[in-house]
Amino acid sequence: MSIFSKLTEKPWLAQPEGMDPSLLQPAATYWPARTALRFFLATVTVIFLLFIMTMLGRSQMGDFHALAGEPWLPFDRPVQLWWNTGILLLSSLAMQVGLWLARKDQLQASLLAVMLAVLFVLGFMLAQWYVWQQLALAGFGLTTNPASSYFYLLTAVHLAHLFGGVVALGGLLQRYWRRQSSDKVVASLALCTTYWHYLFGIWLVLFALLTSSAGTIDSLAALCGF
């Protein structure tokens, strides 16, 4: 039943005894954690969307200088960031493989894949930290100009969300140790994998935005009405 037909029900009319469709309906899947994840991802989306909107608004002030677009700018050829993206992609893929193996009831192999995913995420964090250091050495500190401020801010917020994912994954690893049934592992792992892919998607958006040239950022800002 669509949400519209639900909202147009007439609840004051009684159903014939024993014929109440809501009583006869088979129970839907009881999976509150999935519902919670969906709403949580909506909240996370709003957080990043608002950060990005403020960046586009702020970019129209005179002192905003994009970090790419000219040969002397740090992200004109963001080689290191491409490497980092590759590491995060590997992490996402490892999670997907882990889920696939868990679904085939191969929990040992699945655990190995998930551990690899964690390793890649930790690697991504270190690699991002390395980029921060390189950027600072190149003279683009936290307060040098709003573009670099946004780079540190947005990557840090993204890392914080990844860190939260690793903590959540800690709970999942317990399920492996306790040798719980593969159904329970699959249920948790499916949600973690969704979260992983989602944060990879967010990183792609941030990567594209933060390494855009001034012209691209201005066009985006104009599109948003700034």
Partner 1 sequence: MTQTAIAEHADEHHPTSFVSKYIWSQDHKVIAIQYSITAIFVGLVALVLSGLMRLQLGFPDQFSFINPESYLQFVTMHGMIMVVYLLTALLLGGFGNYLIPLMIGARDMVFPLLNMLSYWTYLLSVIVLLASFFVPGGPTGAGWTLYPPQAILPGTPGADWGILLMLISLGIFIVAFTMGGLNYVCTILQARTKGMTLMRMPLTIWGIFVATIMGLLAFPALLVSAIMMMMDKVVGTSFFMPAIISMGETLDHTGGSPILFQHLFWFFGHPEVYIVALPAFGIVSDILATHARKNIFGYRMMVWAIVVIGLLSFVVWAHHMYVSGMNPYFGFFFATTTLIIAVPTALKVYNWILTLWKGNIHLTVPMLFAIGFIFTFIHGGLSGLFLGNVVIDLPLSDTYFVVGHFHMVMGLSPILVLYAALYHWFPKVTGRMLHTGLGKIHFWTTLVGAYSVFLPMHYLGILGVPRRYFGMAGTDYIPESAQLLNANITVAAIIVAVVQLVFIVNVIISLRSGEKAPANPWGATTLEWQTPDNPPKHGNWGPEAPVVYRWAYDFSVPGAKDDFIPQNVPNSAVEVTDAAAFAEAGK
Q: Residue from 118, 146, 166, 180 that binds partner 1 (CB under 8 A)? A: 146
Nearest to 206 by CA among 10, 45, 5, 72: 45
Q: Residue from 57, 180, 187, 216 that binds partner 1 (CB under 8 A)? A: 57
Rounded Cα gap, residues 197 and 96, in angstroms: 9
Rounded Cα gap, residues 141 and 144, in angstroms: 5
Contact present, 145 and 65 (Cβ < 8 Å):
yes
Stretch binding partner 1 (CB under 8 A), from 58-66, 77-85, 105-113, 207-215: 58-66
By CB atoms closer than 10 A (0-12, 13-18, 19+), residue 23 is exposed
Q: Residue from 80, 106, 149, 194 that binds partner 1 (CB under 8 A)? A: 149
Told to check if 153 binds partner 1 by CB under 8 A, we report yes
CB under 8 Å to 139, separation ≥6 — which residues? none
Told to check if 223 binds partner 1 by CB under 8 A, we report no
Rounded Cα gap, residues 102 and 96, in angstroms: 10
User: In three state form, how does the secondary structure of 94-158 look?
Assistant: HHHHHHHHHHCCCHHHHHHHHHHHHHHHHHHHHHHHHHHHHHHHCCCCCCCCHHHHHHHHHHHHH
Contact present, 210 and 154 (Cβ < 8 Å):
yes
Stretch binding partner 1 (CB under 8 A), from 24-32, 87-95, 108-116, 166-174: 24-32
Min separation Cβ 105 and partner 1, Å: 24
- Write out the binding residues for partner 1, residues 104-143 only, by CB under 8 A: 142-143
Stretch binding partner 1 (CB under 8 A), from 27-35, 94-102, 165-173, 209-217: 27-35
Told to check if 19 binds partner 1 by CB under 8 A, we report no
Give me the 62-101 binding string for partner 1, x by CB under 8 A, dash otherwise: xxx-------------------------------------
- Interface residues with partner 1 (CB under 8 A) are 1, 3, 6-15, 17, 20, 22-23, 25, 27-32, 35-36, 39-40, 42-43, 46-47, 50-51, 54, 57-58, 61-64, 142-143, 146, 149, 153, 157
